Structure 1
Amino acid sequence: MPKQQQPNAQVTALLVAQDAFMDNRGRTHVIGIFDTVGTIKFPFDISFMVYCSIKGEGTHTALIKIENSLGDKIAESKPMVAEVTPQKSHQIFAGFGIGIKAPGLYKVIAYLDGIKEIEHPLFVREEQPTKTEPPIQ
């Protein structure tokens, strides 16, 4: 018996932000969107939210993964079921707290039904400490 094909769906938004949530009135809020992080010291820990929107139709499995520039997995969400219809998208809010060992390009990747759909770059750069001025007397 031929395998029945799933109805189509796609990831239409993937954002990395300081915070993302849906309020009690059903409105989506994504606050402090970013793609670059700077630090003077490695390793360091960072926490952020990932917002993902899926449109189309059918029941699908979504997954968010964080990778370093070598393609090594840094973190991964649990698989999430996404129910979408042509009239209603599915929104995912996933929180991550990860350790960054070195500067470089990291990727936040959204998978839908095991297929890589979209990625968001996360640049981590090393910054020089700022020189502080002596207090005025």
Structure 2
Amino acid sequence: MAARMKMEGSEGKKANVLVVEDEWWIAEMITGILENAGYCVVGPADSVQTGLALIENHQIDAALLDVNLGTAMSYPIADALIARDVPMLLTTGYHYKDLPRQYHGVPLLGKPTTPQRILAALTQLLKAD
């Protein structure tokens, strides 16, 4: 059995990680990976509207944000997180050159990915904050 990691947020508790992903099976996979690693998952959200509501109603320590939500891009969610100084990872098959310039400094986690890459990127993100 793998060791269970406890990742702490800004107040010494397990980090609250917002997951925004429109593909339910990917959202479920990411949720399971994060919960098994000791994170508290907020969401998952499958739309801009749901993501923004979760940000308004929950303490968010970090976020994994799918760029393309099928019918919309998740940029309004990214903007809300930036305004609150919440670190995020953009999960996408896009390259920086395909994204608006204001997101070029946000870490990208390419799709497809692995549980190890998700956890390593999130650990690095929380350390940098």
Q: TM-score, normalised by structure 2?
A: 0.24
State TM-score, norm by structure 1: 0.23
Structure with more strand by fraction: 1
Greater share of residues in helix: 2
Q: Which has the higher contact order (CA 8 A, sep 6+)?
A: 1
Larger radius of gyration: 1
